[in-house]
Amino acid sequence: MKPYNELSTEELLALQSELEKKFEEIKAKDLHLDMSRGKPATAQLNLSNGMMDVLTSDSDLIGEEGVDCRNYGVLDGISEAKQLLADMSEVTKDKVIIYGNSSLNVMFDTVSRCMTHGVCGHTPWSKLDKVKFLCPVPGYDRHFAITEYFGIEMINIPMLETGPDMDMVEKLVAEDDAVKGIWCVPKYSNPQGISYSDDTVRRFAALKPAAKDFRIFWDNAYSIHHLYDNDQDVILELLEECEKSGNPDIVYKFISTSKVSFPGSGVAAVAASENNLKDFKKHMKFQTIGHDKLNQLRHVRFFKDMDGMHAHMRKHADILRPKFEAVLEVLDRELTGLEIGSWIAPKGGYFISFEALEGCAKAIVTKAAEAGLVMTGAGATYPYGKDTKDSNIRIAPSYPTPEELAVAADIFVTSVKLVSIAKMLNK
């Protein structure tokens, strides 16, 4: 098939008629399919069911340093949990604080604390005339929801193949002391699956912000979430690079086991410099006497160490990989060469990012919904839900079965074709 932009009006009309007939046949099946969020499937959750058997009423519930995990105390987490999450974060355990069940919760609390009490003794953000955050786009909608909730102005930063546009980041950070932070998903980014290059990580570490309380919010959500054993992205460890650059305080690293064990029942952590950790603990001691140490102990005894965690994640990959490949096979077969969309085949993470023709994303998502396919709302991957090009669509293959995904992908590509043709005919 030739690119659609090389077809005559008559050819486009004939193709449109053929596709509309197919679309009506799909609609008649009364399907109900959902690719709206990156939820682990039941088969993935089942992988961690053994964690429920690790602790029983007969178990030794004393940690390796003599801590009774049933009782109060240990503000920053038991030693063995700190070691496991530190290894996951690629830092030493003295740089880690263990939190509760969700890294998103930790990020929200961190922004909230910055607003009310400031960063390491600096003026609370809520008392400043203006607070701005840099937002690589397309990006994670829940990050943007946090900063929008607190009334922080968000500035779009285009994502390149190497990560955020660092020329733009360096300029804005250096020139404007109202810029207080940047959201980052550095490995297998949400939604594009891009991993930051070594040069990008080093440039982050060497930033020279006008604001002394500027922080990089480094959400390493997919640090060990590879799809392939023999083809994995590796990124530089930012905290070490920041120390090399004489910039140790510039980053907060967030991580959790949410898509490793049980989402909503995992263990979260932050890794940061000594100064930042002291600042975290100073406020944290008013919030809690200690997080769920039994859950920390349960995770450590189930995974044991990083080798155990990597082995577990290979089982996740075995479930996820066919799903990604089912969607990508349909995209490749049906859309390659038509010049009506582009996509990236990720090596890990939870999403496939699709770039439609400008002005088509909302119409494609609406069209797919007519045939029973629910997708992430167009614009969700941009601050305020506003994709000025109306072109990005996030595809989440994790929850449906591979068989359902083949059908869902067919609905999607048919919707892409119909909306693209309509755009060309209405020029």
* Cα separation values, 296 from 7, 105, 168, 261, Å: 60, 17, 40, 12
76 and 38 in a common domain: no
351 and 266 in a common domain: no
Flag whether 132 is in a domain: yes
Flag whether 54 is in a domain: no
* Cα separation values, 246 from 206, 249, 257, Å: 8, 9, 30
333 and 285 in a common domain: no
Average pLDDT, the chain: 97
Flag whether 49 is in a domain: no
364 and 269 in a common domain: no
Flag whether 293 is in a domain: yes
Q: What residues contact 160, with CB distance under 8 A and at least 6 apart?
A: none
Digit-coded pLDDT (tens) for 239-298: 999 999 999 999 999 999 999 999 999 999 999 999 999 999 999 999 999 999 999 999
Digit-coded pLDDT (tens) for 56-109: 999 999 999 999 999 999 999 999 999 999 999 999 999 999 999 999 999 999
145 and 99 in a common domain: yes
pLDDT confidence of residue 32 = 94
d(CA 409, CA 29): 15
CATH code: domain of residue 345: 3.90.1150.10
259 and 205 in a common domain: yes
Residues above pLDDT 70, as percent of the chain:
100
Most distant CA atoms of the chain, gap in Å: 79
Q: Which two tokens stand for residue 33?
A: 């399919």
Alpha carbon 417 to chain centroid, angstroms = 28
Average pLDDT over residues 381-398: 97
* Domain ranges, residue 28: 4-44+310-425
Flag whether 30 is in a domain: yes
pLDDT confidence of residue 324 = 96
d(CA 389, CA 358): 5
Average pLDDT over residues 30-51: 95
d(CA 137, CA 382): 6
326 and 184 in a common domain: no
d(CA 317, CA 131): 40
Q: Up-side HSE of residue 224: CA atoms within 13 Å toward CB?
A: 25
Kind of pairing between the strands at 352-356 and 179-184: unpaired
pLDDT confidence of residue 1 = 75
Flag whether 196 is in a domain: yes
pLDDT confidence of residue 248 = 97
411 and 325 in a common domain: yes
pLDDT confidence of residue 334 = 97
CATH code: domain of residue 243: 3.40.640.10
Torsion of CA 370, 375, 376, 378, to 10 degrees: -50
Average pLDDT over residues 228-246: 97
Digit-coded pLDDT (tens) for 106-120: 999 999 999 999 999
Local confidence band at 18 (pLDDT 50, 70, 90 cut-offs): very high
Structural domain tally of the chain? 2
260 and 215 in a common domain: yes
Using the CB atoms, write b or e for 263-293: b if 16+ within 10 Å: bebbbbbbbbbeebbebbeeebeeeeebbbb
pLDDT confidence of residue 402 = 87
Residue that is last in its domain, among 283, 304, 325: 304
Burial (CB count within 10 angstroms: exposed 0-12, middle 13-18, buried 19+), residue 148: middle
209 and 80 in a common domain: yes
- Phi/psi for 268 (5° steps) reads -115, 160
Which has the closest alpha carbon to 360: 393, 383, 407? 393
d(CA 101, CA 309): 17
Partners of 342 in the β-ladder:
355
- Judge whether 205 and 239 are in contact, CB under 8 Å: no
91 and 27 in a common domain: no
Q: What residues contact 36, with CB distance under 8 A and at least 6 apart?
A: 374, 375, 376, 396
Flag whether 338 is in a domain: yes
pLDDT for 22 beyond 90: yes
Map residue 308 onto helix, strand or coil: helix
171 and 112 in a common domain: yes
Digit-coded pLDDT (tens) for 128-158: 999 999 999 999 999 999 999 999 999 999 9
Flag whether 55 is in a domain: no
* Cα separation values, 227 from 111, 169, 222, 403, Å: 32, 30, 11, 19
Residue that is last in its domain, among 304, 330, 351: 304
Residue that is last in its domain, among 304, 335, 366: 304
Average pLDDT over residues 318-326: 96
